[in-house]
Amino acid sequence: ISRRQPTPLVNFNPFTPDSLLIQSATQQRNNRKRAHWNDSCGEDMEASDGETEDDILPPSKRVTMMESNMMSRYASEFLELEKIGCGEFGAVFKCVKRLDGCIYAIKRSKKPLAGSVDEQNALREVYAHAVLGQHPHVVRYYSAWAEDDHMLIQNEYCNGGTLSDVITENYRRLSYLSELELKDLLLQVTRGLKYIHSTSLVHMDIKPSNIFISRKSVPSCDECDEDDGLTTSVVYKIGDLGHVTRVTNPQVEEGDSRYLANEVLQEDYSNLTKADIFALALTVISASGAEPLPTNGEKWHEIRQGKPPNIPQVLSPEFVSLLKLMIHPDPTRRPSTSDLIKHPVLLTAARMSADQLRVELNAEKFKNALLQKELKKAQLARAVAEEKVLSTDRILTRSTVQSNPRTSRLIGKKMNRSVSLTIY
């Protein structure tokens, strides 16, 4: 009599596309049928045939924080360098992974977490990261695990901090991003949002503190003799997916009230993708140098009526009109991510992005040229060394012949010539 082995507990990811769930269920059912056929050697298969799809798909909740306790993976696998952020969810630390020597951002939740609403938010972020995969404008996810009552998430480390940090510093210095930089910001984040929306998910908490920045210096020319002419490439990435939900049958938890669209506040969830567009417009306006956004009150309502805050710099009328359209009171009037990417106002930013790609291409050429130079140097050094060995051997051979005339008579007749290339 065969006994069924206990099935390991698993969580069910609510953000997994339905097509993948159906495919996975079908594959599992076929595998079970084949396994039963092998075990029974072709005998009765009614037990296998009677399984339904509901029996195959795991329950919606199996593993909890308390059930995942283990020896501290954080301490054993990572070296903590510094604390780089702190928020409502918990703290973020800059760490080096001991095995690969690379830097990561580890997000560690607060206590207590197991069985609380915060646990659901933490799991929602992990589910969203796992489904989204990799995109250049979404913070990359590596892994997540539970220790004691904490959820830990290993993400890509962004060395430029957040857009909120840049806005705070600019506000202190009475400066702001230029119109071209604002367009580049809008275009990059829109690309990240388009990817998120393409998976039938919405972010629901777009704001400056959730826009992360990666900065890297790359050569801007093909010359490799000097390391001047460096250009800083800025890449904006969407992070903090704790409020992500599905477009269909959403479970909405309101984000920051300063960037919250009015229809979401009224529990109208029919245009959630346009709520992300609304928040993105206010994020760009904040980066333009506008005064801090209100959390409520008369000015808050004016913004929801389509009147943006005062911007302290002169922007083109076309760009201002686009930002106003993005906060239109009627969400159906707001542009989609696809509309924004193709909008004529952002063509200059798109061209600038193309220039950045050329800069990165030049950087690769720069690296290849350096490698070619190093290879040529190594080949030349090897040739010189071999020539030096041969010259030394010829000198030794001549001196031997001169000191022993009998040897000179033998060489060239029936004696084999011996040449040693060993260096002592």
For the chain, domains (ranges, CATH) are: 18-58 (no CATH), 63-157 (3.30.200.20), 160-395 (1.10.510.10)
Residue 88 counted as an annotated binding residue: yes
Tell me the C-alpha distance between 90 and 74, whole Å. Answer: 15
344 preceded by a cis bond (ω within 30 of 0): no
Mean pLDDT, the chain, as a whole number?
79
Least Cα distance to 152 among 132, 122, 174 occurs for: 122
pTM: 0.69
Please report the DSSP string for 287-305 in residue order: HTTPPPPPSSSHHHHHHHT
Question: Is residue 91 annotated as involved in ligand binding?
Answer: yes
Residue 102 among known ligand-binding residues: no
pLDDT tens figures, 9-37: 666 777 776 645 545 555 555 555 554 44
Q: What is the pLDDT of residue 267?
A: 92
* 210 known ligand binder: yes
Is 341 marked as a binding-site residue? Answer: no
**For residue 229, what are its two tokens?**
């002419």
pLDDT in tens, 375-409: 888 888 888 887 777 777 777 666 665 666 555 45
Q: 144-172 pLDDT, tens per residue?
A: 998 887 889 999 999 999 999 999 999 99
Whole-angstrom Cα distance, residue 424 to residue 421? 10
User: 104 — phi, psi (to 5°)?
Assistant: -135, 165
3-state secondary structure of 239: coil
Amino acid at 120: Q
205 is catalytic: yes
pLDDT band for position 370 (cuts 50, 70, 90): confident
How far apart CA 116 and CA 166 sit, in angstroms, is 34
Phi, psi of 112 (to 5 degrees): -80, 155
* Residue 278 DSSP code: H
The catalytic residue among 118, 184, 205, 276 is 205
| Choice among 46-55, 277-286, 307-316 with the minimum mean pLDDT | 46-55
How far is residue 83's CA from residue 106's CA, in Å, rounded to a whole number? 10
Name the E strands within 220-346: 230-238, 245-246
Confidence of residue 113 (pLDDT cuts 50, 70, 90): low
Answer yes or no: is 89 a known binding residue: yes
pLDDT at 177: 93
Let me know: does 199 contact 17? Beta carbons within 8 Å. Answer: yes
End-to-end Cα spacing for the chain: 74
87 is in an annotated binding site: yes
